[in-house]
Amino acid sequence: MGDVDHSRGSGTGRTARSLPVLLLVAAGALAGCGDDEGGGSGDYPSDDIRMLVPYAAGGPTDLTTRTVGACLESELDATVVVENLAGGSGALATTELISAAPDGHTLALVTAGTMVLTPLANEVGYTYEDITPIGVMAEVPSVLAVGEDSPYASAEDFVAAVEADPGTVDVGVPGASTPQAIELQRWADEHDVEVSIVPFDGNAEMTTALLGGNVDAVLINASSDVAENIDAGAFVPLIASSEERLEWLPDTPTFTELGFDGLTLSGSTFGLAGPADLPDDVVSTLEDTLRTCLESDEVREGIGEQYVLTEFAGADDLAEILENTQEVYEPILG
């Protein structure tokens, strides 16, 4: 999906709250991030910290990493350098991460897409077990959306049209091996709702295609650009990927609510991780500091309130998300 090729099992039951906010405030909003005391352990950190982003600069993964990175820098009193290493569906950055010394000075944004789907679909030489989870930075749901002039006024209209003529309704996704594409295939395999899957290279291409009438719908991560199009009326969200309705999209039913149980993995969890064998005291320091950062109003506003979990999800929670996704997708892609 370009910048938003990531997924999450929504089975943890946590729902990000509040209304969409502009994500342009991150750079200036972090001045108060260091007000709370961060955790520390031993000599860590004793050097600059690299935070790798497996996508290009300028999108939600980049913004989230830089927002959290600025807070970690303040809390840990260490220079944090964010590096964008796009390529290989996350493999370039992940390979750099797992080859780094396990000392907490190289971290990366990870997603179930980069850590589960990419290894299952390609020979990349690693699995999700080659990292040390630290915690969840943000969560972005997916929505199945149509354009404002679409003949489908509701989820029921859309499903009825697909069931009446299987395989003829085009739905754009951010890449052929992304969670969105796999979820649409599961929709057909497990629920007999078959659409025609059309891969694109991320949100920008998908948006252009939908607004231009080149696809009937998109299954897209509802990051700030999509939220703005929804607010403007250019996108009409029909179905959300979350288990429960989103507070900021209260009129949009979920796949689960519509009877399509299990289709909750097309959303995106942005996790923070280090290489395998990261020392426990370093993990604890980073996990505690991440928690402190995500409790900061400035950080939450910078990322977007609706994308920050109301209940902090730490190392064990992120590990569970990756494991659950592996269990679902391995029989499909393995």
Q: What is the pLDDT of residues 98-123, one digit of tens each?
A: 999 999 999 999 999 899 999 998 89
- Residue 23: Cβ-neighbour burial (10 angstroms; 0-12, 13-18, 19+): buried
The neighbouring-strand residues paired with 196 are 170
Share of the chain above pLDDT 90, in %: 74
Q: What is the pLDDT of residues 272-323, one digit of tens each?
A: 999 999 999 999 999 999 999 999 999 999 999 999 999 999 999 999 999 9
Residue 112: enclosing H or E segment and its boundaries? Answer: helix 112-112
CA dist list (Å): 139 to 126, 136, 188, 234, 271: 24, 8, 26, 23, 9
Average pLDDT, consecutive stretches of 10 residues, N- to C-terminus, the chain (334 residues): 40 39 37 41 89 88 95 98 91 96 98 92 94 97 96 97 96 87 94 95 88 97 91 97 93 97 92 98 98 97 94 98 93 80
Handedness of CA 301, 307, 311, 315 (dihedral sign): negative
CA atoms within 13 A on the CB side of 197: 21
CA–CA distance, 121 with 98 (Å, rounded to integer): 19
Of 258, 308, 300, 274, nearest in space to 101 by CA = 274
Q: Are 272 and 214 in contact (CB under 8 A)?
A: no
Place of tokens 């964008």: 84
DSSP per residue, 205-231: HHHHHHHTTSSSEEEEE--HHHHHHHH
CA–CA distance, 129 with 139 (Å, rounded to integer): 21
CA–CA distance, 118 with 95 (Å, rounded to integer): 12
